[in-house]
Structure 1
Amino acid sequence: MVEDAQVLPVTPKAQQRGPRPASRLRLIFAKLARTPRFWVGTLTLLVIVLWALFGLAFYNFNAVSQDVMSMNTGPTGKHWFGTDEIGGDIYAQTVVGLRKSLLIGFVVGPVSALLAGFIGALAGYLGGVWDRVIVWFIDLLLVLPALYILIMLYPLIKGGSWVIVMVYLAIFSWMILARVIRAQTSSLRDRDFVKAARFMGVKTSTIIRRHIIPNVSSLLIIDATLGVGAAILTETTLSYFGFGVQPPDVSLGTLLSSGTGAATTRPWLFVFPAAILVITVLATSLAGDALRDAVDPTSGANRD
């Protein structure tokens, strides 16, 4: 009599292989979810952006309103941040100025990161003469005094649109990251997947777009995030000294410039725009710093 054979349970293939390893993107999100700095910075920045967009939706004054019956008054229920010497509402001007500064920051940061990624990847991938020419151009822009160039060009751009300031900031904000991307690309150029694509006749632009840029995307994302705060601060500094946004346009820098002289006698003219600037730059710095630590754990693994 033949004994019944023992029937073993069939294990699904997914269980036989074990749990799938988490992707790098999931690991980054998991790290960010455990980082208080990321949530504080991101939520604060989100509130600031929403306030800049909708802060005047139910307010009775705008940036050009003049209340001649309430000139040089402090914060009240009617004028939340007070008024200036001609009755202009500081709250409305701050919201509009913040809107302009955020727009410049959110454009300059990503655009400069994209320029750095493309030019740096092109130099590192091509190598040879092209690499030397591009690096020479990058070094030339690095040694040029950007502020002095702006001062010399100021008579030509005075009275022009604030878009000129935005373009200027983007042109002089990408060089350092481009050198980093170039070094990363030089090491990626000799990897097997890049060699295989080159031997298959794939175009240079396609290789850079499909194989190089995705491998340095973490650096570009970090630089774009941190570049938003840096661009806002740079634009504010230029506008403060009269080389940035020009009246009748309003930015945080123009508000700080006009309120500096009255910082002790009428502090509301200076304190509110300055506080908004500090909070905005600090929020972007916290979010960018947390993102950098999540992408590169060796940059600050034990901070939180």
Structure 2
Amino acid sequence: MTEVETIIQGAPQPVGRRKLVIRRFLRNRVSVAALFVLLLVFLAAFVLPHFVPYSYTDMDPDLNQKLKPPSSKHWFGTTLSGEDVLAQTLHGLQKSLIIGFCAAFLSAVIATVAGSLAGLLGGWTDRAIMWLVDLLLVIPSFIMIALFAPKTKGNSSLLLLTVLIAFFGWMISARIIRGLSMSLREREFVRAARYMGASTWTVITTHVVPNIASILIIDTTLAVGGAVMAETGLSFLGFGVQPPDISLGSLIGRYSSSALNYPWTFVFSGAFLVTIVLCTNLIGDGLRDAFDPSAKRARAKQRGKRADRKAEA
């Protein structure tokens, strides 16, 4: 073995981008803790109901068990009708998680397709998509969703509500993706693919999406919190999930009037809502720093400048 081969073998091997991003994310303890807590919330929502002896619609036949605080029989207490608050909270948590994550994913798909088409094709396609984006941005989304609210009763409520939230939540992301696609369409590998006869869809899936994957992951993660909050606000005001089905928003709206007298009917659903939104935002921040460490250094530098100004003042 020559000296050069020995040096090459002893040199550290290059680390792939995926492993590097994962390593950076794992060094962010706050984001890792938020991811762990969010996984626990998912497990609680979809596993724990199988071990709870009550359904979210069951009423305790014992009349003395109405509006009782947490106990060994009812861990989260009971409602005015004798329903188990734990069973209701877990069922509402399921609905909010399903709506929030599915709406964020669907919104990311729409934004990716619309933004990529506008950026790559340009011309009348770009103008038409951006006209639609501008139109949807000025239309009050809450009123539009409220118009369809009477149709959200029954088995189709989750699907329709998810589609409505996603349909009014993709515009800003589409603008960002359009700008990135416009810069990518002048790159050599995109030009080569188009000269070789690759379709627009092939260019989007094989060249555009991989190069903007970091932005999509971060944007989708942050959009989950917004989608959950949108569902909560709509259900709180009666325009979202309709009875007899429940979500965190409908539970908060139903028991907000008794939050001071019977706090256990309100506080657990509110705590889960805050936990979901906070964890998704912290995970999004961690992913952003993992994909773009320079952004973290820039924020730290800005904080240092602000601290210096305060010290001088």
Give the TM interval when normalised to the shorter protein: over 0.9
Matches of 2:20 and 2:185 in 1, distance apart?
Answer: 26
Residue pair 1:162, 1:246 contacting (<8 A) in 2 also: no
Unaligned runs of 5+ in 1: 1-7
Secondary structure, counterpart of 2:50 in structure 1: coil
Matches of 1:175 and 1:13 in 2, distance apart?
Answer: 55
Matches of 1:213 and 1:9 in 2, distance apart?
Answer: 44
Counterpart pick for 1:153 among 148, 154, 161: 148
Unaligned runs of 5+ in 2: 301-313
- Normalized per residue, which structure has more helix? 2
- Give, in angstroms, the shift of residue 294 of structure 1: 1.2
Counterpart pick for 1:109 among 101, 104, 115: 104
Aligned residue in 2 for 1:177: 173
Relative to structure 1, the CA distance from residue 14 to residue 64 in structure 2 (aligned partners, 3 Å threshold; closer, same or farther) is farther
Deviations 1:110-147 (A, max 9, x none): 11111111110110000111111111111111111101
Aligned residue in 1 for 2:125: 130
Secondary structure, counterpart of 2:253 in structure 1: helix
Matches of 2:6 and 2:111 in 1, distance apart?
Answer: 45
- Give, in angstroms, the shift of residue 18 of structure 1: 4.9
Matches of 1:66 and 1:289 in 2, distance apart?
Answer: 42
Give, as a single letter, the amino acid of the residue that structure 2 aligns with 1:211.
H
Length-normalised TM-score, structure 2? 0.90
Aligned residue in 2 for 1:164: 160
Residue pair 1:40, 1:286 contacting (<8 A) in 2 also: no
Aligned residue in 1 for 2:18: 25
Aligned residue in 2 for 1:52: 45
- Larger Rg, first or second structure (1 or 2): 1
Q: What is the total number of aligned residue pairs between the two structures? A: 297
Length-normalised TM-score, structure 1? 0.92
Residue pair 1:68, 1:86 contacting (<8 A) in 2 also: no
State how 1:19-98 maps to structure 2 within 5 Å.
19-69=12-62, 70-98=65-93
Q: What is the RMSD of the two structures over their aligned residues, measured on CA atoms?
A: 2.0
Residue pair 2:152, 2:242 contacting (<8 A) in 1 also: no
Residue pair 2:60, 2:82 contacting (<8 A) in 1 also: yes
Give the fraction of aligned pairs with identical amino acids, expressed as a percent.
44
Q: 1:300 and 2:300 equivalent?
A: no
Aligned residue in 2 for 1:234: 230
Residue pair 2:152, 2:240 contacting (<8 A) in 1 also: no
Q: 1:255 and 2:251 equivalent?
A: yes
